[in-house]
Amino acid sequence: MADLRLLLLSNSTNAGEPYLGYSIGEIGRFLGSDDLAPLFIPYAAEMVSYDDYEAIAAGPFASVGQTLTSVHHAADPVVAVAAARAIVIGGGNSFRLLRQLQQQRILGPIGDVVRRGAPYVGWSAGSNVACPTIRTTNDMPIVEPAGFAALAFVPIQINPHYVSNVIPGHAGETRDGRIAEFLHANPDQVVIGLREGTMLRVEGARATIVGARPARVFRHDSAPVEIEPGSDLYQIVRSAPRG
């Protein structure tokens, strides 16, 4: 089994920027100079067609020399995934994405090809499915997948689009409160809040925070810890005291 190579983005686009604008340089460096013809998985899309989603994502990838092609064109998605040299999963609704991966029978094949060494890029929902489950998504469950288990490329749960601010006058749950509920029910889990404009780059045993903003790590019965860009998340999680 090869070392995993993952680039997990909190979001696709920062306000006022083009699609994948903040991240495409890092994506290009991650994928390298050879055109790997990445296979795009558009199944998280709900309000846009797969053709349109492919076109939206293909432009930025072409700017770094990568020819993106969507799996929805394939006569057999399982065969297409097995032949892929790189996998890219876009954002949208995590529940819809996972259900489609299950129905198209490609959840396992994606896991196989990435564990054999194919690089994986995901944003938002595409980062959620890289976790053991999608239970730390922010999305509404608009469809019902056959269980929440996902690809388990990382041993932690990601909360994309993480925000720590409290809305003035809003008496409902904060994001920290929702994560605390998850950890109360799942005390052995670790959650990383990825703020917008940040990424997690995983190469083998190292998981590096990339971007201009820190990430926040949550554990049950522990105060959240801010992790600065450039830090190795895995090493910090391993060494952090519990309680």
110-163 pLDDT tens trace: 999 999 999 999 999 999 999 999 999 999 999 999 999 999 999 999 999 999
φ, ψ for residue 78 (rounded to 5)?
-65, -45
Residue 202 φ/ψ region, left for φ over 0, alpha for ψ in the -120 to 50 degree band, beta for the rest: beta
Q: What is d(CA 75, CA 84) in angstroms, rounded to the nearest whole number? A: 14
What's the mean per-residue pLDDT of the chain? 95
CB distance 138 to 93 below 8 Å: no
- 124 is known as an active-site residue: yes
The highest-level CATH class for domain 5-239 is alpha beta
| pLDDT value of residue 165 | 72
Selecting among 23, 94, 124, 127, the annotated active-site residue is 124
Q: What is d(CA 118, CA 170) in angstroms, rounded to the nearest whole number? A: 44
Q: What is d(CA 160, CA 170) in angstroms, rounded to the nearest whole number? A: 21
Selecting among 10, 94, 127, 139, the annotated active-site residue is 139
Whether residue 40 has pLDDT greater than 80: yes
44-96 pLDDT tens trace: 999 999 999 999 999 999 999 999 999 999 999 999 999 999 999 999 999 99
Q: What is the 3-state composition of the chain as percent helix, strand, coil, each rounded to the nearest 5?
A: 30, 20, 50
Whether residue 243 has pLDDT greater than 60: no
Selecting among 35, 161, 176, 220, the annotated active-site residue is 161
Q: Is the pTM of this model over 0.85?
A: yes
Whether residue 168 has pLDDT greater than 90: no
**Per-domain residue ranges of the chain:** 5-239
